[in-house]
Amino acid sequence: MAEFPIDRAVALLEEEVKGLQAPVVDLVAAQTRDPFRILVATILSARTRDEVTAAACRRLFKRVAAPEDLEALRVDELEKVIYPVGFYRSKAKHLARLPAALREYFQGRIPDDVESLVRLPGVGRKTANLVVAVAFNKPAVCVDTHVHRIMNIWGYVKTKTPLETETVLRQKLPRKYWIRINSLLVAFGQAVCKPVRPHCDRCVLFDICPRIGVTPRRPPKTQARRVRQTMTRKNVKKLVSWNVNGLRAALQKGFVDVFRELDADVVALQEIKVSPDQLPDDVVKMDGYASYWYPAGRKGYSGTAVFTRLEPVQVIYGLDNHDFDQEGRALTLEFDDFYLVNLYFPNAQPGLKRLDFKIAFNRAVHAFLGRLAGRKSVVACGDFNVAHKPIDLANPKANEQNPGYSARERAWMDEVVAAGYVDTFRKFNQEPGQYTWWTYRFNARSRNIGWRIDYFLVDPASEGRVVNAAIHGDITGSDHCPISIGFK
């Protein structure tokens, strides 16, 4: 494939964005050249829609003009002022600690380089790069989700994470575009090249864009029919979760036919063991669906993906923890009125060798779900790699010391349920012998010697939104079977 013509694209986009809404941090920068306000706006903007960030900035800047003003506000007051920005509790704590950190490290001044900025509370590389570029007009490559996504659509980079994209762009993107590229692609990504069904039909880059991994905006007839079917279900969304134990292997066993039969609105996959560039195009771009991928750094191992007919507001890759995130174990899609958190929990391994790692992952997940549940409904699904109760496996006594049923793993499930999360399957079905995983050995599946280790949990306030839950034990293609819920 010919190299993507980046100069032409940037020139066309410079014209295009003149008619588009500027990203919120640029608006703050245009109104005030104050690095402190730009830093605060950038911290607030992470994982938050621009209109929400803009409103929070307006409220906050009425009371806060300089770092010392932040110290006059208690954390709970700060929380109220900035709510409902994403992760407002953590951000309030970070803002409260900001003045002291600025005094301690930088004599109260806002530093103008990335390495210094990342020493401040709540400031990661993306925030630091954006502050350097927007507040100080110095070359820095800020890679937010739009930059990462669109650069891959163009084939200008072939990367799995924003950090990898930043590294590649530092090497190949002409330096003259470093400052502008984030603003251009955020504005363009919000209005035209949207995460789901971008407006290719009216895009100025149509002739030069290879549209890698893009689902066309105009739905094919089959999708239109499915959308109508979904509507007749009175807006009950069908959500499916399935550990496919290697998507390439599952494809050989009829995955595509099963996928179509399931006719779900969202399909969350675990243990995909593949990245999208290793798959045929018609799988990555399944008719009527957008897909999101979070493969592990190690090839052929772990990883998660989500196919969706619903347009997400944002996609969150990982748990902000390098050890877990390099295994691609948590992929979250935020929709208008709920979060779908797709999880692939680690296996504790024979001899419980990886139990500590697993429990640390479990705790990080629990904390993450708690933060999300403060904002809207949370649906957490996936392979939890634990049978909770004796009813959830064929041979509980024999497995009490084994991975997947050890005391600490079950105790963690107890904690989550005690916190109010609802095991949706057990809300509707108390029967024994309901399993989602069977070892390939000993004819276990035909004898139903299995474990129920795949779950859909919902947060305490959302139980009433679950209208059904099912285990699709007749579907083969993996050592796990799919599970689903109806969610209104």
Candidates 126-134, 197-205, 254-262, 410-418: pick the segment binding ligand SF4 (CB under 6 A): 197-205
Could you tell me the smallest distance in angstroms from the CB atom of residue 194 to ligand SF4? 8
Could you tell me the smallest distance in angstroms from the CB atom of residue 215 to ligand SF4? 10
Q: Which two tokens stand for residue 204?
A: 């100025």
The answer to whether 247 touches 269, Cβ cutoff 8 Å, is yes
Give the other-Cβ count within 10 Å of 232's Cβ.
Answer: 8
Interface with ligand SF4 (CB under 6 A), residue total 12
Binding pattern for the stretch 48-87 against ligand SF4, x by CB under 6 A and - elsewhere: ----------------------------------------
Q: Which is nearer to ligand SF4, 203 or 244 (CB)?
A: 203
CA distance 311 to 434: 33
Q: Which is nearer to ligand SF4, 184 or 393 (CB)?
A: 184
Q: What are phi and psi of 364, to 5 degrees?
A: -60, -40
Binding pattern for the stretch 154-193 against ligand SF4, x by CB under 6 A and - elsewhere: --------------------------------------xx
Residue of 209, 264, 272, 296 interacting with ligand SF4 (CB under 6 A)? 209
Q: Which two tokens stand for residue 358?
A: 């697993």
Handedness of CA 75, 364, 142, 114 (dihedral sign): positive
Q: Which is nearer to ligand SF4, 29 or 193 (CB)?
A: 193
Of 152, 154, 153, the residue nearest 166 (C-alpha):
152
383 catalytic? Reply is: yes
Classify residue 12 as exposed, middle or buried by CB count within 10 Å of its CB (0-12, 13-18, 19+): middle
CA distance 427 to 416: 15
Q: Which is nearer to ligand SF4, 198 or 303 (CB)?
A: 198
Among the listed residues 26, 50, 325, 383, the single catalytic one is 383
Asked whether position 147 contacts ligand SF4 by CB under 6 A, the answer is no
Quote the DSSP letter at residue 379.
E
Residue of 138, 180, 211, 248 interacting with ligand SF4 (CB under 6 A)? 211
Could you tell me the smallest distance in angstroms from the CB atom of residue 212 to ligand SF4? 8
Classify residue 466 as exposed, middle or buried by CB count within 10 Å of its CB (0-12, 13-18, 19+): buried
Sheet holding 338-344, edge to edge: 314-317, 330-334, 338-344, 377-383, 454-458, 422-423
Could you tell me the smallest distance in angstroms from the CB atom of residue 154 to ligand SF4? 7
Candidates 25-33, 200-208, 394-402, 473-481: pick the segment binding ligand SF4 (CB under 6 A): 200-208
Binding pattern for the stretch 33-52 against ligand SF4, x by CB under 6 A and - elsewhere: --------------------
- Helices 35-45 & 24-31 angle (0-180, nearest 10): 160
**Which residues are part of the catalytic machinery?**
383
Query: Can you give the binding site for ligand SF4, defined by CB under 6 A?
Result: 153, 192-193, 198-200, 203, 205-206, 209, 211, 214
